[in-house]
Amino acid sequence: MTAPPGGDLPSAVFAQVRRHQSPKLALTGKFAGRGAVESAASGSWVTLSDGRTALDFGSYAVTLLGHRHPAVTAAVRRQLAVQPASTRSLANPVSAGAAAVLAEYLGGALPKVHFGLNGADAVEVAVKLARLASGRDRVLAVRGGFHGKTIGALSLTHHPLFRAGLRGCTTDVVHLDADDAGAVGRECARGPVAALIFEPVQGENGAVPLSPEVLARWTHDAQAHGAFVIADEIQCGLRRCGERSVALAEGLPVDAVLVGKPLGGGVVPLSAMVCSQELYAPLAADPFLHSATFGGHPLSCAALPAALTAVEELAGHGRLLAERLATGLRVLHQRHPHVMSGFRGRGLLWGIDFTAPQAAGEVVVGLANADLLVSPCLSRPTTVRLLPPLTTTPDELERALDILDAALDGAGRTPTAG
Residue ranges, comma separated, of all CATH 3.90.1150.10 domains in the chain are: 43-68+315-417
**pLDDT > 50? residue 369:** yes
pLDDT at 185 (0 to 100) = 98
Question: pLDDT digits over 376-415, tens only?
Answer: 998 899 999 999 999 999 999 999 999 999 999 999 786 5
The span from the CA of 184 to the CA of 227, in Å, is 10
Domain with CATH 3.40.640.10 in the chain: 70-310
Query: Residue 418: what pLDDT?
Result: 46
Choose among 64, 118, 54, 69: nearest CA to 374.
54
pLDDT in tens, 307-318: 999 999 999 999
Given phi > 0 = left and psi -120 to 50 = alpha, else beta, which region is 120? Answer: alpha
Judge whether 54 and 45 are in contact, CB under 8 Å.
yes
pLDDT tens, 293-306? 999 999 999 999 99
Question: Cβ–Cβ contacts within 10 Å for residue 207, how many?
Answer: 29
pLDDT tens per residue, range 43-78: 999 999 999 999 999 999 999 999 999 999 999 999
DSSP state of 225: T
SS3 314: helix
Q: Is pLDDT at 123 greater than 70 in this prediction?
A: yes
pLDDT higher than threshold 90 for residue 417: no
Measuring CA to CA, which residue among 12, 345, 302 is closest to residue 208? 345
Q: Exposed e or buried b for every residue in 235-268, given b needs 16+ CB within 10 A?
A: bbbbbbbbbbbbbbebebebbbbbbbbbbbbbbb
Q: Where are the alpha helices (DSSP H) in 253-302?
A: 277-285, 298-301
Tallying the residues shown for the chain, one arrives at 418
On the 0-12 / 13-18 / 19+ scale of CB atoms within 10 A, 157 is: buried
CA distance 360 to 411: 8
Q: What CATH architecture is 43-68+315-417?
A: Alpha-Beta Complex (3.90)
* Cβ proximity of 254 and 247 under 8 Å: yes
Q: Which is nearest to 289 in space by CA: 280, 297, 298? A: 280
- DSSP assignment of 326-338 equals HHHHHHHHHH-TT
CATH architecture observed for domain 70-310: 3-Layer(aba) Sandwich (3.40)
Q: What is the pLDDT of residue 161?
A: 86
pLDDT in tens, 258-285: 999 999 999 999 999 999 999 999 999 9
CA-based torsion, 297, 299, 305, 309: positive or negative: negative
pLDDT at 5 over 60: no
User: SS3 of 25, please?
Assistant: helix
pLDDT digits (tens, 9 = 90+) for 124-178: 999 999 999 999 999 999 999 999 999 999 999 999 888 888 877 777 999 999 9
The pLDDT value recorded for residue 166 is 85
The per-residue pLDDT for 168 is 73
